[in-house]
C-alpha cells in the first residue's frame, strides 16, 4: 500500500464527518458490545471506549505524575535514562531537534507487568507517588485489556481466553510509555511519531486534550478526536497475525502542535518474547489457509526493527 505523506492538521475534506467508533462498555447487552468491538477491529483497527471501568480520578493522577516527571530538570529525568548501548527499550529518551524528518518527542518507557520482568531502576522516584499510581493503573488496564481480548477471541469463534493465551497467558508483558511532545514552532519539519503500526498486541491510550493522533484509512490521513472520558484502543501487529488477518493493525502517526504541549500515555499489551506469533492453529482450514509464517515474538521484533523480510 502506498501511503500519502502529506500532513493534515484537520480531517481531510473527503472525510468530513467520519470518526473512529465509540463503544460504550457499560451496555447490558454483552453480545452487542462484543460485536461492535469486533467490527471496529476488523474495519478500523482503532476505537474509543467509554464507561470502561477505570476511575477518572485514577486517570487524572496518571496524567499528573507523567506531567510532573517531564517538568523535572533534565538531570533528574536522566536518572532513569536508557543506558548507552542497551538493546532494550526501557528508560527515558529525548529527541528534540529542529531537523527535517526527525521526531520531536521525549519518552519514558518501562515494563509494568508481570512482576518478574519489572526493573524499578527505570521507574522515576520523583514524583514520589509515581509508583503507587502506575501500579494501581496497571491493575485496571489489565482487566480492561483482557476484556477486550475476550471479545476479539469470541469474534474469531474461539474460547474467550484464546488470544490472551496466544500472547503468552500469565507471561504476557505490559509496557508503559509516556510521550511528551513539547510545542514546536517548526512543527512542519518534524513529527511526534512517524507513520507506523504497533508491533505489539493491543495498545490502550490516554491522552491530554491536545489533538495529534492521526490514522490512515481509505487512502487518507485524518485526526482522531479527543474525548475526555474515553480511552483509545489500537490493534497491533501481533493481533493481526494471531487472527490470521481478520483484525486490522491500524497505520497511525502523531503530529506536534506549534503552541501547546501534547502528551499521551499508551500501555502496550505485548507477547512474551518466546511466544510464537502466527495464526492460531484453530483458525487454519482448507478454506482459510495461514497468511503468516510462525515466528517468535523476539525474532519478529528484530526483523521489523531492521526491516528484514518476515513472511
pLDDT band at 6 (very low <50, low <70, confident <90, very high): very low
- Dist CA 177 CA 205 (whole Å): 10
Between 187 and 53, residue with greater pLDDT: 53
- Dist CA 68 CA 187 (whole Å): 24
Of the listed ranges 88-92, 93-97, 296-300, the one predicted with least confidence: 93-97
Between 86 and 303, residue with greater pLDDT: 303
Query: Does residue 106 contact residue 92 with C-beta atoms inside 8 Å?
Result: yes
- Mean pLDDT of all residues in 270-295: 96
**pLDDT reading at 188 higher than 90:** no
Q: What is the chain's mean pLDDT, rounded?
A: 90
pLDDT tens digits along 253-264: 998 888 999 999
- Mean pLDDT of all residues in 289-297: 97
**pLDDT reading at 191 higher than 90:** no
pLDDT tens digits along 53-90: 999 999 999 999 999 999 999 999 999 998 877 778 89
Please, what are the domains in the chain? 22-305 (2.60.120.330)
pLDDT value for 89 = 87
Q: How many CB atoms lie within 10 A of CB 209?
A: 9
**pLDDT reading at 14 higher than 60:** no
Grid cell, residue 221, equals: 490521513
Amino acid at each position: 500500500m502506498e501511503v500519502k505523506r502529506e500532513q493534515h492538521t484537520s480531517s481531510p475534506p473527503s472525510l468530513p464527518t467520519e470518526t473512529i467508533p465509540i463503544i460504550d462498555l457499560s451496555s447490558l447487552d454483552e453480545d452487542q458490545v462484543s460485536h461492535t468491538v469486533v467490527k471496529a477491529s476488523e474495519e478500523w483497527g482503532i476505537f474509543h471506549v467509554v464507561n470502561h471501568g477505570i476511575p477518572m480520578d485514577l486517570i487524572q493522577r496518571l496524567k499528573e505524575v507523567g506531567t510532573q516527571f517531564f517538568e523535572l530538570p533534565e538531570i533528574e529525568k536522566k536518572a532513569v535514562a536508557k543506558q548507552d548501548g542497551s538493546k532494550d527499550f526501557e528508560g527515558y529518551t529525548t529527541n528534540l531537534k529542529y531537523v527535517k524528518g526527525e521526531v520531536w518527542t521525549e519518552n519514558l518507557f518501562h515494563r509494568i507487568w508481570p512482576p518478574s520482568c519489572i526493573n524499578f531502576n527505570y521507574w522515576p522516584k520523583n514524583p514520589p507517588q509515581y509508583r503507587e499510581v502506575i501500579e494501581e493503573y496497571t491493575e485496571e488496564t489489565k482487566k480492561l485489556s483482557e476484556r477486550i481480548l475476550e471479545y476479539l477471541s469470541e469474534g474469531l469463534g474461539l474460547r474467550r481466553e484464546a488470544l490472551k493465551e496466544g500472547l503468552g497467558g500469565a507471561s504476557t508483558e505490559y509496557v508503559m510509555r509516556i510521550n511528551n511532545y513539547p510545542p514546536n514552532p517548526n512543527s512542519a519539519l518534524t513529527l511526534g511519531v512517524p507513520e507506523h503500526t504497533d508491533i505489539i498486541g493491543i495498545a490502550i491510550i490516554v491522552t491530554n486534550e491536545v489533538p495529534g493522533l492521526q490514522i490512515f484509512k481509505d487512502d487518507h490521513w485524518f485526526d482522531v478526536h479527543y474525548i475526555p472520558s474515553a480511552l483509545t484502543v489500537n490493534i497491533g501487529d501481533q493481533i493481526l497475525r494471531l487472527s490470521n488477518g481478520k483484525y486490522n493493525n491500524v497505520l497511525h502517526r502523531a503530529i506536534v502542535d506549534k503552541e501547546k504541549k501534547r502528551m499521551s500515555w499508551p500501555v502496550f499489551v505485548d507477547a512474551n518474547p518466546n511466544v510464537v506469533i502466527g495464526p492460531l492453529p484453530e483458525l487454519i482450514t482448507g478454506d482459510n489457509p495461514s497468511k503468516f509464517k510462525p515466528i517468535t515474538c523476539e525474532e519478529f521484533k528484530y526483523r521489523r526493527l531492521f526491516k528484514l523480510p518476515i513472511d
